Chains A and B, each alone.
Chain A
Amino acid sequence: MKWVLYAATIILIVLHQDFWNWDKVDPRWFGFLPVGLWYHALFCVAAAILLWLFVAFAWPGHLENVEHETTNATIKRNA
């Protein structure tokens, strides 16, 4: 699943470039919002979905049980 998510990330990076919209204002949403803006608004929604998938399927669960230990500096001081 992780590799699918990594691939989805790369696809989103490519979609972010949206060179096919560069010269356009239309189609507009609600009659006024240029395509260059609403396309990227949808991109934000897609990014949120991707991150939700990362949390659901690639969460670093092993970090949840980390407990406090000592640092090298503490070790030296106590030596």
Chain B
Amino acid sequence: MIDWLPAIVIFIYLAVVLYIGIFAFRRGKETGEDFFLASRSIGSIVFFLALFATNMTSFAIIGSSGMSYRTGIGVFGMMATSSALVIPLTLFFIGTRLWAVGKRFGHMTQVAFFRDRWECSEIGTFIFLLTAAMMLPYLIISIVGGGTILEALTDGHIPYAIGGAIVALVVMGNVFFGGLRGAVLVNVFQTLLFLSFGVIAFVAIGHKINFTETVDRMMHNPTLGPLLARNTGPGGVPAGIPTVVYLSYMLIPLSSIMFPHMSIMCFTAKKVTAFKKTVVLYPLCIMLIWLPCCFLGALAAGQPAISAAMAGGSEAMKTWIEHPTAQNEPLLIKDLRRLPEGARFRQELLTSKEPPSPRVFSDRLVAIVHPLQASTATAAQRAAYQVLVRDVRQLASSNSDSVLLEMLKMNVWPLLAGILAAGIISAVMGSDCHQILALSTMFTKDIFDYYGGRRRFGEKGTVFMGRAFIVVANVIAYAVAWFRPQIFELAVQYAFSGFAALAPMMVAALFWRRSTKWGALLASLFVAACVVGTGILEMKYRPARIPSPLDVHIWDLGTHWMLFLNKAGQLRVFGWMPVVPMVIGSAVLVVVGSLISRPPSNATIDRYFGSIDRPTEPAFAPVAAAPAR
């Protein structure tokens, strides 16, 4: 029963989420604007809580702690505090103006705005296809995150595939019934839950683990010490965040405002003043979530029992236990064989045919390894200890996304672990609701409505189509999530870089009169080519870099490596992340493409730059709607 307690808490949480969706359904109207934008009626506090939940994914809690376990505390500055500055600034400058054009001209999506602003049709459709394609990976990581959490929390009693399906179904139910109103109401509940998560986890785990002692111990270990600094640690060993990569990450948060679910959220505010609280509170809330996660993730590396549990729950270990061969035998097991107790443990694992729970695996492993470093241990035993610790860390790093959950399970009372895990899962689902709804809104408004669906099927037909799309998108995302793609790599390299590189296009549309649809087309074609190109290069050179300890050379310019894959298999351009040349290239192409093509009509330019900035004196007489009869 105790084992299931955290899972029971999560199921109660999921039931609440579903109920809120049904509650919102009862209060909603069957109109497109109400289903997709909650009738643009969101007040300032709810707007902040919902927008924050929209932008926080499993990435913020699971990914950040996992990456900190592998790379160290530098993750906090690299990813979180760059976002803490850049995202509120984009909301302040871009979000407020986007809200204004949405309010003024009734736009519900970015593409609707681009089509109207640049007097284009098919180019808008292309931008829709590009953004929808880049959105799907982001959708997938939410389901992967949900499945991973439920599996880890129940020690595998709920397998990953079923956990992911449960999360996908609850999210689908919430937005299917409640639309944006349902998602926003859930967000309020979710944001409060996961904002308190970090603080409670920090205090609860700190009560069990002596932080000061662990940090001191790590500082005296040449492998673990660097995890507490950013570049090189006390031992002078590089921790693995190169300067150019750190700088590159300053551009990643530009993606935030370009994610369709974020820009759609900007349209939902009742008044533009709702942005005021949001931009001021945003950096503080980022800190509340990311700081504890990054610290605890890095600190877990100094807890042998946590690393052992993560190693025990890794895919490599499970695969070997279920289908043991000489090829797939983890290095840890091979090295354990040299010890009499280790050989016995190996035999037990092989005969059981079923992976033990991470906790059981951890207890056994620690019992074998711990005596090797006792004061009475021989030199050979100490050497074996060093080798095994390295093996455990290597295996645990392949399962680093589970670090926080293992910490909670080992250090916190089960009921509290369940509540905290509900906090994690709410971060997963908060954005997932909006991603699915955003895709549905885009499809319904930019394709179905635009190409005549609304005229033929009416307002109710539009809402029906939106709901049908939610089901289809969810099924596709779940099918891909089944293969369990790596959370960080997938999201950062494809979706984040692509959306960040589309930001210059949005800036041009909102602030540059002379920008044209051809500039937008050139930029979006370039972004599409870069995203596809990155994927192809990484796939092509992937076999060469596994398990290469070196960077893989692709193309050079003189004596400089221009294109290469780093040790983690990620593409680098002169050492920079692809997002840097992508943003610069996209900005240049918007400008060049616009300057060599004819601008939109004066009437359109005047509507967007005259009437928005002088709302009391419209420069263009609005066309009166047909009077109701």
**Which residues of A does B touch, CB under 8 Å?**
9, 12-13, 16-19, 21-25, 28, 30-34, 36-37, 39-41, 43-45, 47-48, 50-52, 54-55, 59-60, 62-75, 78-79
Task: Judge whether A41 and B287 touch: CB under 8 Å.
Answer: yes
Name B50-109 residues within 8 Å CB distance of A: 73-74, 76-77, 80-82, 84-85, 88-89, 92, 96-97, 99-100, 103-107
B628 at the interface (CB under 8 A from A): no
Task: Judge whether B279 and A63 touch: CB under 8 Å.
Answer: no
Task: Judge whether B107 and A71 touch: CB under 8 Å.
Answer: yes
Q: Which residue of A lies closest to B607 (CB)?
A: A69
Task: Judge whether A36 and B287 touch: CB under 8 Å.
Answer: no
Task: Judge whether B614 and A45 touch: CB under 8 Å.
Answer: no
- The answer for the CA separation of A13 and B294 in the assembled complex, in Å, is 21
- The answer for the CA separation of A46 and B242 in the assembled complex, in Å, is 25
Task: Judge whether A69 and B611 touch: CB under 8 Å.
Answer: yes
- The answer for the CA separation of A78 and B272 in the assembled complex, in Å, is 29
Q: Which residue of B lies closest to A50 (CB)?
A: B85
Contacts known (A32-B211, A37-B294, A40-B77); A64 close to B271, Cβ less than 8 A: yes
Task: Judge whether A36 and B73 touch: CB under 8 Å.
Answer: yes
Interface of A is mostly: helix
Task: Judge whether B99 and A21 touch: CB under 8 Å.
Answer: no
Task: Judge whether B229 and A36 touch: CB under 8 Å.
Answer: yes
Question: Contact flags (1/0) for B264-283 with A, using CB distance below 8 Å?
Answer: 00000001110010011111
B234 at the interface (CB under 8 A from A): yes
Task: Judge whether A63 and B284 touch: CB under 8 Å.
Answer: no
Q: Which residue of B lies closest to A52 (CB)?
A: B280
B618 CB contacts on chain A under 8 angstroms: 69
Q: Which residue of A lies closest to B616 (CB)?
A: A65
Contacts known (A44-B284, A47-B84, A69-B618); A75 close to B97, Cβ less than 8 A: no
B622 at the interface (CB under 8 A from A): yes
Task: Judge whether A23 and B97 touch: CB under 8 Å.
Answer: no
- The answer for the CA separation of A34 and B273 in the assembled complex, in Å, is 38
- The answer for the CA separation of A28 and B247 in the assembled complex, in Å, is 25
User: Closest CB of chain B to A24's CB: distance in Å?
Assistant: 6
B115 CB contacts on chain A under 8 angstroms: 73
Tier of interface size on chain B: 35 or more
Q: Which of B104, B250, B613 contacts A69 (CB 8 A)?
A: B104
Task: Judge whether A36 and B74 touch: CB under 8 Å.
Answer: yes
Task: Judge whether A25 and B77 touch: CB under 8 Å.
Answer: no
Task: Judge whether B229 and A24 touch: CB under 8 Å.
Answer: yes
B219 CB contacts on chain A under 8 angstroms: 25
B282 CB contacts on chain A under 8 angstroms: 48, 51
Q: Which of A12, A23, A48, A52 contacts B229 (CB 8 A)?
A: A23
B34 at the interface (CB under 8 A from A): no
Task: Judge whether B231 and A33 touch: CB under 8 Å.
Answer: no
Q: Which residue of B lies closest to A44 (CB)?
A: B287
- The answer for the CA separation of A5 and B99 in the assembled complex, in Å, is 23
B177 at the interface (CB under 8 A from A): no
B215 at the interface (CB under 8 A from A): yes
Contacts known (A36-B76, A40-B80, A44-B287); A25 close to B234, Cβ less than 8 A: yes
A37 CB contacts on chain B under 8 angstroms: 73, 76, 291, 294-295
Q: Which residue of B lies closest to A32 (CB)?
A: B211
Task: Judge whether A25 and B225 touch: CB under 8 Å.
Answer: yes
Q: Which of A23, A47, A68 contacts B283 (CB 8 A)?
A: A47
User: Closest CB of chain B to A31's CB: distance in Å?
Assistant: 4
Other than the given A34-B215, A67-B615, A68-B104, 6 more pairs (CB < 8 A) read A25-B233, A40-B77, A45-B287, A60-B272, A66-B612, A71-B106
Q: List 30 A-B contacts (CB under 8 A).
A: A16-B81, A23-B231, A23-B233, A24-B229, A25-B234, A31-B212, A32-B215, A34-B229, A37-B73, A37-B295, A40-B80, A43-B81, A45-B283, A47-B84, A47-B85, A48-B283, A51-B88, A51-B89, A51-B279, A51-B283, A54-B279, A55-B279, A55-B280, A63-B96, A66-B272, A69-B607, A69-B620, A70-B625, A71-B105, A71-B106
Contacts known (A36-B230, A40-B81); A72 close to B103, Cβ less than 8 A: no
Name B280-301 residues within 8 Å CB distance of A: 280-284, 286-287, 291, 294-295
Task: Judge whether A16 and B611 touch: CB under 8 Å.
Answer: no
Question: Contact flags (1/0) for B320-348 with A, using CB distance below 8 Å?
Answer: 00000000000000000000000000000
- The answer for the CA separation of A36 and B237 in the assembled complex, in Å, is 16
User: Closest CB of chain B to A21's CB: distance in Å?
Assistant: 7
- The answer for the CA separation of A62 and B272 in the assembled complex, in Å, is 10
Q: Which residue of B lies closest to A39 (CB)?
A: B77
Contacts known (A37-B294, A41-B291, A63-B96); A68 close to B76, Cβ less than 8 A: no
B604 at the interface (CB under 8 A from A): yes
Task: Judge whether A22 and B604 touch: CB under 8 Å.
Answer: no
B273 CB contacts on chain A under 8 angstroms: 64
B380 CB contacts on chain A under 8 angstroms: none
B394 at the interface (CB under 8 A from A): no
- The answer for the CA separation of A67 and B228 in the assembled complex, in Å, is 52
